Amino acid sequence: MVEQSSSEQSTISRCGYVAIVGRPNVGKSTLMNRILGQKLSITSRRPQTTRHQILGIKTEQGTQAIYVDTPGLHKDGGKAINRYMNRAASSALRDVDIVIFIVDRDRWTDEDQAVLEKLQHSRLPVILAVNKTDRIDDKQSLLPQLEQLSEKMAFAEVIPLSAKHGHNVDLLEQQVLKRLPEGIHYFPEEQITDRSSRFLAAELVREKIMRQLGDELPYQITVEIEEFSHDGSVLHISALILVERDGQKRILIGNRGDRIKRIGQEARVDMERLFDTQVMLRLWVKIKRGWSDDERALRTLGYDDIG
């Protein structure tokens, strides 16, 4: 058998899908944004911020890793939107080549166990990413935790890291890249996501709402882009925010409209950075009762993208 030289190996084209899975609020979107070097998936401290599968595409030196950020797998499947998020997360395992299973450094929950049980039946190489290790003062105390986690499954690798600060994320990427299958690239080199600009704009508005309101507003909010058009050097975006009750609308608008104004200002700053142009953003709030538990309403609002 003739071995390939390092120069020959470096010219091999590799491409594959990498699912980032885990329970809600464990750092999946933060990790993907860190890998891509820019903000693509929205983040907040609230669980279940991510509702859709989002592809983040990184092409570098002959390799293309297509990361799939997924909603957190969770036990509350009562409402239609919760069932949708669980389906979106589970379906990501069907057609990927590698899985990154991200967990918290010192907390193992029933939802972590549920994710693990799905992975044990997948027959895919699973890299365990133990997140938020930057918060541990005594690094020696981490070793027993890593050993304990390693016993739960035959992981391809176990990597302690900090998605927020980037510690060991380069090591994680190395382990991913060497496991990508050989093949042609699926996307152009400059493309970073499969999502439309309208989708990304809606997600940025939703992120600012979740960050501004914290626990004041339940999950029954969604954002629909009604206008997305260029007028010279200005991008005009009109976003409709849907809530389910009158009280939610009042909370969202705030005293004399101060809260909705703040949400719009913060979203516009991120949009201008993302789209690299001046943005004129207009926000409206409308009541649509029961949308989050209505399968038909969810489909019309874009919650129908699971393959």
Q: How many residues does the chain have?
A: 307
25 is in an annotated binding site: yes
Kindly write down the DSSP assignment for every residue of 220-264, as one continuous string. Answer: --EEEEEEEEEETTEEEEEEEEEESSHHHHHHHH-GGGHHHHHHH
CA 282 to chain centre: 25
23 is in an annotated binding site: yes
289 is in an annotated binding site: no
205 is in an annotated binding site: no
Are 265 and 221 contacting, i.e. CB atoms less than 8 angstroms apart?
no
Beta-carbon contacts of 9 under 8 Å, excluding residues fewer than 6 positions away, are none
Give the angle 144-146-152 at the CA atoms, nearest 5°. Answer: 110
73 is in an annotated binding site: yes
22 is in an annotated binding site: yes
Burial class (CB in 10 A: 0-12, 13-18, 19+), 283: buried
Q: Which two tokens stand for residue 232?
A: 């010279």
27 is in an annotated binding site: yes
Please give the DSSP secondary-structure letter assigned to residue 94. Answer: T
Q: Which two tokens stand for residue 264?
A: 């719009």
Residue 14 sits at φ, ψ, to 5 deg, of: -125, 145
26 is in an annotated binding site: yes
Residue 11, Cβ neighbours under 10 Å: how many?
Answer: 10
Q: Which two tokens stand for residue 71?
A: 């909603």
125 is in an annotated binding site: no
16 is in an annotated binding site: no
Q: Which two tokens stand for residue 219?
A: 């999950």
Are 57 and 193 contacting, i.e. CB atoms less than 8 angstroms apart?
yes
Burial class (CB in 10 A: 0-12, 13-18, 19+), 192: middle
Q: Which amino acid is at 239?
A: A
CA 230 to chain centre: 28
Q: How far apart are CA 69 and CA 102, in angstroms?
A: 11
Please report, in range form, the residues annotated as the binding site: 22-29, 69-73, 131-134
Please report, in range form, the residues annotated as the binding site for GTP: 22-29, 69-73, 131-134
